Amino acid sequence: MKRTISIAAGAALLALSVAACSGGSSPAGPADPAGSSQASSAGFQEQHRGGTLRLQAKAGDGTLDPHINYSNGNWQVFQAMYDGLLAFKKVGGEASYDLVPDLAEAMPQVSQDGRSYTFTLRKGVKFAGGGEVTVDDVVASFERIYKVSGPTSGTFYAGIVGAAACVKKPKECTLDKGVVADKAKNTVTINLVEPDSEFPLKLALPHAAVLPKDTPDKDQGTKPIGGTGPYTAASYDPNKELKLVRNPNFTEWSREAQPQGYPDEIVYSYGLTAEAAVTAVQNGQADWVFDPLPADRLSEIGTKYASQAHVNQLSAFWYLPLNTNLAPFDKPEARQALNWAIDRQAVVKMYGGANVAQPACTLLPPGIPGHADFCDFPKPDLAKAKELVQQSGTAGQEVSVVVADDEVGKQIGEYVRSTLEQIGYQAKLKVISTNIHFTYIQNDKNKVQVSVSQWYADYPAASDFLHVLLSCASFRPGSDSSINISGYCDKDIDARMAEAMTLDRTDKDAANAKWGEIDRDLTKASPIIPLFTPKQVDFVSSRVGNYQFHKQFFMLISQLWVK
């Protein structure tokens, strides 16, 4: 998924570039891992139950409908509100990428051919609005994914039998052969058209949440939906506040899948700039700020408030998509030239420095299966870049760098423009609204040659980066939803990716080794230039305890202590 950086926070980042040039001190250090580990391994600690957790963000993150919302912020909140058949284990650290049964009683029985997953539903789990979860709710929820035209209905869940027809005619969707309930046995069998070793991961995402079967088949927006998690929304105004209260019908059924929460209420307020929110956290008026921390405050946070700062590497990267179907980047040498010319350390400084990002040599971020340790463009080499530009025959051509109008995007864009000039092009910067940037750069009709973008893992799989961003199938000419922004299509690479996905079913480490090789070959071909892997810096108030960082959904909100 993509994450949008706020303009206000971006503006503040400029300051750190100046500070960094003048040798400013380092910001926040890492959390105490032993502390996190000890806390997360304990059972529920009753003495910390209660209180109101106060969260801050500049703006609400869209609909409360888990089948539709595709943003980092709400996915994080949804972890405390909704459940699916499976879940990523709700703990901090490496184990948070493990799958565990959630509404399902156990991990599924998988047929020999890998096309059929049978789940036995737990008994006794209730929705916030009352009523026990039944197999009918499961079936209705899967059909609803298509009926509301969910953003991943045509991708993550397209492999379910009957899904293709549902995508075409959402309102008429029925999955009578794809999601089959057996009331007598209390089971649900999901049948796939083809085996998909990543399917269990997709079932653990909010888009596969099980909702009451009578939930209307349209985006519920600000209207709360009663889920099965420990919290439910009492009210939501994306311009003001989201208020979560305890789900009166929640009884913990699996600590790993859905632990009971500590705060009695969670109030997520909107409207403060990141600057103001940081001050509120420092003053104890707020407990956490969602937006990226302003660069000019990082040093202060890292020194005076070090014990309240937590730094964790994200499974994500910032990158430059290069249009491989348009001059000059239809020439591999031209792409490689820019890859050699980019100084990733300089770009990291623009983002806020080494404590909030690290240079990326690979397309797969650390922590994503298949990530391999290689670096074929270890440091900038302008001479080599200029030589490659000459070899490509594209010297002197005009290149526009298209960026969003946030400060970070503009800064990186200006840097890329300047670099292109240095290596022999006539370059200019084109700034467009953040609101349309992502769709604009996807549509090849807009003839974007190079832009700045980001990708955050939907789930921990190499294919979520390499296949999604660079496969032939992900390039849709003329579409605003053509996530292969580079328009790159290499049939051999596609075949190798298919092979790796198949191998994943029988030998994950061998599959990962193949993904590592594919990553390396793609990096060399340079349809995408990786820039850096961002880190998440969480700043909490002094009263907050039990911080745990989940690799998929970030800080575990429901597990924070405020008393």
Partner 1 sequence: MAIPEPTTQGLAPFKDWHTWYRVTGDLNADKAPLVVLHGGPGAAHDYTLRMARLAEQDRAVVHYDQLGVGLSTHLPDRGAGFWTAELFLDELDNLLAHLGIAGRYHLIGQSWGGMLAAEHAVLRPEGLKGLIIADSPASMKLWREECDRLRAELPAEVERTLREHEAAGTTDSPEYRAAEKVFNARHVCMIVPNPPEVLASDAKTAEDPTVYHTMNGPTEFHVVGTLQDWSVVDRLHRVTAPTLLVSGRHDEATPRTVQPFADHIPDVRWQIFEHSSHMPHIEEEELFLQVVGSFLDSTD
Chain residues in the site for partner 1 (CB under 8 A): 33-34, 36-37, 91, 93-95, 97-100, 366-367, 369-374, 460, 506-510, 512-513, 516
Length of the chain as a residue count = 563
Dihedral through CA 492, CA 495, CA 501, CA 502, nearest 10?
-140
Closest contact distance (angstroms) between CB of 376 and partner 1 is 13
The token pair at 150 is 């969910």
Which residue, 158 or 372, is less far from partner 1 as judged by CB?
372
Which residue, 415 or 459, is less far from partner 1 as judged by CB?
459
Closest contact distance (angstroms) between CB of 262 and partner 1 is 21
Residue 63 to residues 74, 82, 145, 234, Cα–Cα distance (Å): 8, 14, 15, 14
Closest contact distance (angstroms) between CB of 175 and partner 1 is 28
Closest contact distance (angstroms) between CB of 480 and partner 1 is 33
Which residue, 59 or 374, is less far from partner 1 as judged by CB?
374
Which residue, 306 or 510, is less far from partner 1 as judged by CB?
510
Interior CA angle at 97 toward 219 and 104, to 5°?
Answer: 60
Closest contact distance (angstroms) between CB of 348 and partner 1 is 17
Tell which residue, 332, 314, 291, 264, has the closest CA to residue 490.
332
Closest contact distance (angstroms) between CB of 371 and partner 1 is 5
Closest contact distance (angstroms) between CB of 15 and partner 1 is 29
Which residue, 33 or 50, is less far from partner 1 as judged by CB?
33
Which residue, 441 or 522, is less far from partner 1 as judged by CB?
522
Sorted by sequence, the CB contacts under 8 Å of residue 286 that are 6+ apart come out as 54, 55, 56, 269, 272, 277, 280, 541
Closest contact distance (angstroms) between CB of 107 and partner 1 is 9
Which residue, 151 or 369, is less far from partner 1 as judged by CB?
369
CB atoms within 10 A of CB 541: 21
For the stretch 37-40, contacts whose Cβ atoms lie closer than 8 Å and that sit 24 or more positions apart, written own/partner, are 37/92, 37/93, 39/545, 39/546, 39/547, 39/548, 40/91, 40/92, 40/93, 40/546, 40/548, 40/559
- Looking from the CA of 395 toward its CB, the CA atoms found within 13 Å total 11
Which residue, 410 or 535, is less far from partner 1 as judged by CB?
535
CA dihedral sign, ordered 410, 459, 371, 336: negative
Q: Write the single-letter amino acid at 381.
A: D
Residue 442 to residues 29, 187, 291, 299, Cα–Cα distance (Å): 37, 41, 25, 37
User: Coil, strand, or helix at residue 444?
Assistant: helix
